[in-house]
Structure 1
Amino acid sequence: MTEYSPLRDLSRRTVVKSAAWSVPVIAAAVATPLAAASETAPEANYAEVTATANPKVGTNPNFKIQGQYTDGANYVDGALKAGTLVTFTFANGATAASYSGLSGLTFVSGDPAGGGPVIFQVTATTSNQVKVTFNNVAPVGGTITAEVLGGTGTATITA
């Protein structure tokens, strides 16, 4: 016949130690789905810069800048981070009477009437385009080039 032996009683200390170890495991299991669901767009490391193609002397070329990142094969819209600087360089005698139509940018420094460079800063992180217009550009053959995060776009002024 088998003799009955009672199970050993669990001490309060053993129960507390086990509970303490289970809390981090439960917390990690709960936190993971929350983090996965709140994925944010990656920061831009490349910028698509477009400009009015061949603006005529005296016209107002627009520059539109869209943040993008690359996955190695494709460019995907991303975010232009607040604080990013956008530099416009004027070459071959190019000037502009002024700038206008700022969208998502604030002026930092420079003088387009003096031939630049002119620097703007992105005001808030955005996945939308930021824009600027240079007014009354001159002369023929002059160029205005925008550069941000390695992307460039150029407007060459024509007659």
Structure 2
Amino acid sequence: MDCRSSAPGQEVEILLVEDNPGDARLVQELFSDAHIVNRLHVATDHREALEFVTQRGEFTDAPRPDIVLLDWHLPRATGDEVLRAMKDDAALRRIPIIVLTGSDAGEELIQTSEFEANAYLTKPVDPDDFISLVRSFEFFWLSVIRSPPDL
């Protein structure tokens, strides 16, 4: 989905890795309703996510994401497989990855020494809380944070 840009002429590419179609649709609708500045792409499993970020298979023309929202509980693999593959690849390791989790387990994941996500977000059950979370995400990750240029 195309939305306005946070910086003149700059569009933020977001990859949402989410296997639940209802959750993916909700995120898309909330981003649209909150006028979040982005193009949101959805991958439904770890295979699609890795093909998207490496621009292989059906995703050869896909843009390189500026940020990845990664559901931790994916079918056939956890988000850990996507996270490790991206952090082990020199061309991908600088892409910020935010883990989405349905529980407070995110804090435990962050405390694991091998866990290399930039942050985690607990998906709220209440729609109003989810809207607040999306707006906070927009403000912080898309407006405040700036990645250093590629070397």
TM-score range, shorter chain: under 0.3
- Higher relative strand content: 1
Q: Name the TM-score, length of structure 2 as normaliser.
A: 0.23
- Structure with max Cα Rg: 1
Q: Name the TM-score, length of structure 1 as normaliser.
A: 0.22
Query: Could you say which structure has the greater relative contact order, defined with CA pairs below 8 angstroms and 6 or more residues apart?
Result: 1
